[in-house]
Amino acid sequence: MAGGSGTRLWPLSRAGYPKQFLVLAGNSSLFQQAAHRLNQLATDDIQLKPPEIVGNEEHRFLVLDQLRETGIEPCGVLLEPMGRNTAPALTLAALQALESGEDPVLVVTPADQTVGNGEAFTSALQKAIRQASGGAIVILGITPDRAETGYGYIRSQAEGAEVAVAEFVEKPDAETAARYVADGHYFWNSGMFVLRASVWMKALERFRPDIAEATRKSWAQRKVDAKFVRPGKEEFAAIPSESVDYAVMERCPGSDIALRMVELDAGWNDLGAWEAVWQVAEKDAQGNAAQGDAIFSDCQNTLVHATSRLVSVVGLQDVVVVETPDAILVSDRSRSQEVKKIVAKLDAEKRGEQTLHRKVHRPWGWYDSIDSGERFQVKRIMVKPGASLSLQMHHHRAEHWIVVSGTAEITNGDKVLLLSENQSTYIPLGQTHRLANPGKVPLEIIEVQSGSYLGEDDIVRFEDTYGRN
């Protein structure tokens, strides 16, 4: 499940490039790490099928690009036209899995978690798969190593050779969390579930038939475009928004549905806020953690995440500093969950910093808005080998293009030009044009826009390889 927005990790995580696609721990994105972990589960009695990804329409090319880098080919990418929480997302995956006529065991995991011990993770999941193959719903319960108030808890009880889920408990206060940890029967709810596709559908139809029926209607109106599967948009909008926990899992204890728990002690973290990023990061003797170019002086237990310049901090304790080219966050580390309030304010004021970075990724590459002023804007643009932008025109701006590296194939009105390093061309206002990279190395250009309006919505597309309007 890769459709989250990660608002509590702003300004690094934004709606257009959320946390699951960021490298926050290790050398690959959280999404890539999740795909790799699941790819290790095969044994003599466990056969793997390619993963199903449930994500956002806006992130579809990010999903494919990042999976391509791992060498993993998905069996399908289910694209939600809008967010409806995890219960409809899992229902889409179950309906897709049942299309083959089989009833596979689904290993359901968010795409934005980290695991320190891969072997322990694999062993726990394999155990859960074997239990789920017999018809049980199995939840991964995380062994708590502290009195955490930011997670929901599972109360477990022995049931023969297996462990049953007796109760789900909401996020506790500090005193209650400490009591849970001391008790030894309480575990963090990881949000990872293992169950057969048919078992999920039967449980959902029992407890929330409205969600099941509405999702089936949306699925019936789906459209398939290569790896992309798009449920019916109008029908999907009518689905009640609900989590897997509230819709089904919390209703199972006390029923005849077998709800089991497998303990996971593998250095798990959901990186839900900057406090969690600090917890998993490497630290110096004073407890400081740095990503990027950072200098500490007389600081303790402080996190600095710098992306584009030197960040120097003096005399800080228990503070988070996150620097990006267009926004900086400074927060008390213990209050980093409240960053979502900043995102809500940005959204209410209709500011772009909650949606996009200065550097914006596109299916053909990316652009970085490096300077702007009255009636002008300067962008650095990278086009992947073999990729092209749409055939388009602008009503309100003209453009100059200067090739920095690589080879550019440029459609400029009725002319097609090949330009190489240090060559340039001019696109008049209203002229139909296109930029493409016919070479085998990335193409980089500098684009200078000038005109009365320079917004991204001043684009009229005539042709587009990626199906955008």
Distances (CA, A) of 191 to 1, 68, 129, 160, 252: 10, 26, 15, 24, 15
CB atoms within 10 A of CB 239: 25
Task: For the chain, give the mean pLDDT.
Answer: 93
344/193 Cα distance (integer angstroms): 30
φ and ψ at residue 40, rounded to 5 degrees: -100, 5
pLDDT digits (tens, 9 = 90+) for 94-123: 999 999 889 999 999 999 999 999 999 999
Residue 27: predicted pLDDT: 85
Here the tokens at position 370 are 């490096």
427/15 Cα distance (integer angstroms): 32
**Confidence band of 467 (pLDDT split at 50, 70, 90):** confident
Strand 228-230 and strand 76-80: pairing? parallel
Chain centroid offset of residue 54 CA: 10
297/312 Cα distance (integer angstroms): 8
% the chain with pLDDT above 90: 84
**Confidence band of 237 (pLDDT split at 50, 70, 90):** very high
**Confidence band of 468 (pLDDT split at 50, 70, 90):** low
Q: Give the chain as a 3 state SS string.
A: CECCCCHHHCCCCECCECHHHCCCCCCCCHHHHHHHHHCCCCECCECCCCCEEEEEHHHHHHHHHHHHHHCCCCCEEEEECCCCCHHHHHHHHHHHHHCCCCCCEEEECCCCCECCCHHHHHHHHHHHHHHHCCCCEEEEEECCCCCCCCCCEEEEEEECCEEEEEEEECCCCHHHHHHHHHHCCEEEEEEEEEEEHHHHHHHHHHHCHHHHHHHHHHHHCCEEECCEEECCHHHHHCCCCCCHHHHCHHHCCCCCCCEEEEEECCCCECCCCHHHHHHHCCCCCCCCEEECCEEEECCECCEEEECCCCEEEECCECEEEEEECCEEEEEEHHHHHHHHHHHHHHHHCCCHHHCCCCEEEECCEEEEEEEEECCEEEEEEEECCCCECCEEECCCEEEEEEEEECCEEEEECCEEEEECCCCEEEECCCCCEEEECCCCCCEEEEEEEEECCCCCCCCEEEECCCCCC
Residue ranges of the chain that CATH labels 3.90.550.10: 7-264
Residue 32: predicted pLDDT: 96
CA dihedral 253, 99, 60, 52 (to 10 degrees): 50
Residue ranges of the chain that CATH labels 2.60.120.10: 359-463
pLDDT greater than 90 at residue 58: no
Distances (CA, A) of 403 to 315, 396, 420, 448: 46, 23, 6, 12
53/231 Cα distance (integer angstroms): 14
Residue type at position 114:
T
pLDDT greater than 80 at residue 169: yes
Chain centroid offset of residue 193 CA: 18
> Rounded mean pLDDT of 242-260?
92
Most confident of the following: 24-28, 58-62, 249-253, 403-407: 403-407
Is CATH 3.90.550.10 the right assignment for the domain spanning 7-264? yes
CA dihedral 51, 53, 59, 65 (to 10 degrees): 0
Strand 365-373 and strand 359-362: pairing? antiparallel
Q: Which among 6, 105, 109 has a CA at the least distance from the CA of 53? A: 109
Longest distance between any two alpha carbons in the chain, whole Å: 77
pLDDT digits (tens, 9 = 90+) for 84-102: 999 999 999 999 999 988 9
Residue 464: predicted pLDDT: 84
**Confidence band of 469 (pLDDT split at 50, 70, 90):** low
> Rounded mean pLDDT of 54-83?
92
pLDDT digits (tens, 9 = 90+) for 183-213: 999 999 999 999 999 999 999 999 999 999 9
281/303 Cα distance (integer angstroms): 9
Q: What is the CA radius of gyration of the chain?
A: 25
Q: Which residues contact 308 (CB under 8 A, 6 or more apart)?
A: 323, 324, 325
User: What CATH number belongs to 359-463?
Assistant: 2.60.120.10
